[in-house]
Amino acid sequence: MGKAYLKVASVYFAIGVLAGLTMGIIHDFRFTSVHAHVNLLGWVSMALFGLIYHFYPNAANSKLAKTQFWLHNIGVPVMLGGIALQVLGVSAALPPTIIGSLAVVW
């Protein structure tokens, strides 16, 4: 569980910094919120979960931990994809954004 979180976190880190770099280079800051949360929910939060489960392995061996892993890993892309679509003007993306956010918070 710890390793899985760290692997996924490193993918989000790559996406997050590349997005930040691109925003900075092309001077288009519409996606700042997506960039911020890719880094904070994807990279920082998942790296922290991974380290916590590494140091407290018993906590990883629960159904709750597994459920939260999947809710987080489904919720984050749904939430962030939803925000990105709304930035592009797709207002119908609001309900999935809310559902994704609720999955993350659960």
Site residues (vs ligand HEM, CB under 6 A): 16-17, 20-21, 23-24, 29, 32-33, 35-37, 39-41, 43-45, 101, 104-105
16: number of CA atoms within 13 Å, CB side? 22
Q: What tokens does 7 get?
A: 């692997």
Q: What tokens does 37 get?
A: 């949360």
Output the smallest distance, CB 72 to ligand HEM, in A. 9
Nearer to ligand HEM, 61 or 67 (CB): 67
The identity of residue 99, as a single letter, is I
Nearer to ligand HEM, 58 or 89 (CB): 89
Closest CA to 5 of 36, 41, 38, 51: 51
Output the smallest distance, CB 13 to ligand HEM, in A. 7
Output the smallest distance, CB 18 to ligand HEM, in A. 8
Mention every residue, 6+ apart, whose C-beta is less than 8 A from residue 14: none
**Which residue's beta carbon is nearest to the bound ligand HEM?**
20
